[in-house]
Amino acid sequence: MTPEADAQTGGSAAAGSTTLRFEFGSNSRCLLQPARAPRAAERAPLIVFLHGQGQSGERQQRWMGAAVPDHFAAAFPDGFLPYEIRKPGKPVRIGHGWYLYSADRPAFLASLREAVARVWQLVDRACEELGADPQRIWFAGFSQGAYLTHTTALHGLDRVQGWIGQAGAFRADYAPEPAPNASGKPVLLQHGTLDEALPLVQAEATADLLRSFGADVELATHEVKHVITPAMATEARAWLERHSARLSD
């Protein structure tokens, strides 16, 4: 990785945030948000938000910026794989993905593992830029970003304090081998009861799988489709504040 800093403030990013660019074969932007009210004598925990397929870090910041506790630093990266999205009657836009999904299972898992390695490289740079604590990492991901959130967290449990998966799922073969020990790690799953893209039963199966690894999983359902709502952001913030306070005691 050869990250290249861009000192300009991101367009619609929150006040005080900066934009970094990372070279991962293609250029990937990451919006970095310092803690609004850092606590004395401690480095801020860092939460990394991973957006859904075809979306962006900027959009994820609009949806989930309200979920960031005041003492947290935050990172909202773009996915590592940009591509054109064309819809009738709408201008062409650039969306982003995190990994290549393929019917070739080994190739897909290799792409997923590569994405995990890149996320951890990004985490290290974000901690350096924000002065955040590299041993107090949190993740939150939506849809494809939720799959990657679960996978990335389980591949870095010595640094991860907890994570949030929204409208996503997980499979056992995405996890490290042997089975990871996530004993006591708090996990919040948020899922829509009207989600047709990923039915609720997949979230329930994910909860069971993560519990089998020892995680302390809370499954929160909302009467919505495959979306993030303000109520979900509010719920996520309260959950983060509660568990980060408990882990700091």
The domain ranges of the chain are 4-248
Q: Band of the pLDDT at 82, cuts 50, 70, 90? A: confident
Residues 97-149 have pLDDT tens digits of 998 887 788 898 999 999 999 999 999 999 999 999 999 999 999 999 999 99
| Angstrom distance (rounded) from CA 130 to CA 123 | 10
pLDDT at res. 153: 98
More confident residue, 3 or 29: 29
Q: Band of the pLDDT at 26, cuts 50, 70, 90? A: low
pLDDT at 13 > cutoff 80: no
The token pair at 76 is 């909202």
pLDDT at 91 > cutoff 90: no
pLDDT at 74 > cutoff 70: yes
At position 23, the amino acid (one-letter code) is: E
pLDDT at res. 14: 52
- pLDDT cut 70: percent of the chain above it: 92
- Protein fold of 4-248: Rossmann fold (3.40.50)
pLDDT at 172 > cutoff 70: yes
Q: Band of the pLDDT at 25, cuts 50, 70, 90? A: low
pLDDT at 80 > cutoff 80: yes
Cα→Cα distances 122→41, 92, 116, 182, 231, Å: 25, 28, 10, 22, 29
pLDDT at res. 16: 63
pLDDT at res. 1: 39
Residues 187-216 have pLDDT tens digits of 999 999 999 999 999 999 999 999 999 999
pLDDT at res. 95: 87
pLDDT at 235 > cutoff 90: yes
pLDDT at res. 7: 31
Distance, CA of 28 to chain centre: 15
More confident residue, 25 or 175: 175
Question: What is the residue-averaged pLDDT of the chain?
Answer: 90
